[in-house]
Amino acid sequence: MTVESVVLTGAAGQVGSVVREPLRRRVGRLLSVDRVPLTAQGPGEEIRQVEVTGIDEAMAIVEGVDAVVHLAGVPDEAPLADLLTGNVLGTQHVLEAARRTGVKRVVLASSNRLTGCYPAARTVTAQKPPRPDGLYGVSKVAVEALGRLYADKFGLEVVCLRIGSLEAEPSEPRHLATWLSPRDCAGFVWAALSKPDVTFTAAYAVSANTRRYWELDDQLGYTPLDDAEAYAGRIPGVAEYFAGDPLQGGDFATPGYTLRHGLGEWHPRM
């Protein structure tokens, strides 16, 4: 697929900050959108400071582009009402705007936490049923369902990237399985934009980690380059962590994480 113009929502966020410059170098026009101020990084990038709260706002930014990379939303565990507004309804606004304006390809930010309650010893494919590790993961199940609906019913080309632990370097034991390096992140996003003959695809975006939890496949045509194992000697507690057979979500999968961040203060049972 030829991609000359792209809208990038959530451009100031963790993932957006990593992929902005690689995208700018590849396309003729990049429209970077966020609710906070941004500065163009070079020729070909336009900036729009706006909070997309409805379909009309979404249509105003996606009109006339080839593709959208939708990264805006709530990035972690939160009250369900916030997640439904920021992640689910926000995604529907973008998909509906793409449908109405004729944008063909939409790349959606899903998450590895959609399957975070699988045990670490089990290799998971994108075809396995969701087992979210919290309310944030639940919102990403809904995001993927919306993408599938718009692909099946309206003919949009939708790619959902189940993004791993995006860090400059892995810094904790879980990252040895879940790390996504910045250059692999950029590679997966470009593959999601440019792969021809896509209808609907959900794929894990994770580096080629020796201990990864998720199956790497070639459906997007990108082979990751980095392996967190190169950093294993710098990270304390690795042997103990993996010997305990944790859930893939790690701390995200504990009851306390959702109770603290999504449901209020944690009051454990007595």
Active site residues: 136
For residue 89 the two structure tokens come to 């309804």
Gap between the Cα atoms of 73 and 95, Å rounded: 14
C-alpha angle 110-112-116 in degrees, rounded to nearest 5: 130
CB atoms inside a 10 Å sphere around CB 37 = 8
Q: How far from chain centre, in Å, is Cα 215?
A: 17
Query: 157 forms bridges with which residues in the sheet?
Result: 105
CB atoms inside a 10 Å sphere around CB 46 = 13
For residue 122 the two structure tokens come to 């089990």
The dihedral built from the CA positions of residue 34, 65, 108 and 97, taken in this order, carries a sign that is: positive
Helix and strand element counts for the chain (H, E): 9, 9
**CB-based contact 78:261 (threshold 8 Å):** yes
**CB-based contact 228:211 (threshold 8 Å):** yes
For residue 101 the two structure tokens come to 């304006």
Helix (H, G, I), strand (E, B) or coil at 63: coil
C-alpha angle 203-207-211 in degrees, rounded to nearest 5: 100
Please state at what angle helix 90-101 crosses helix 55-62, rounded to 10 degrees.
50
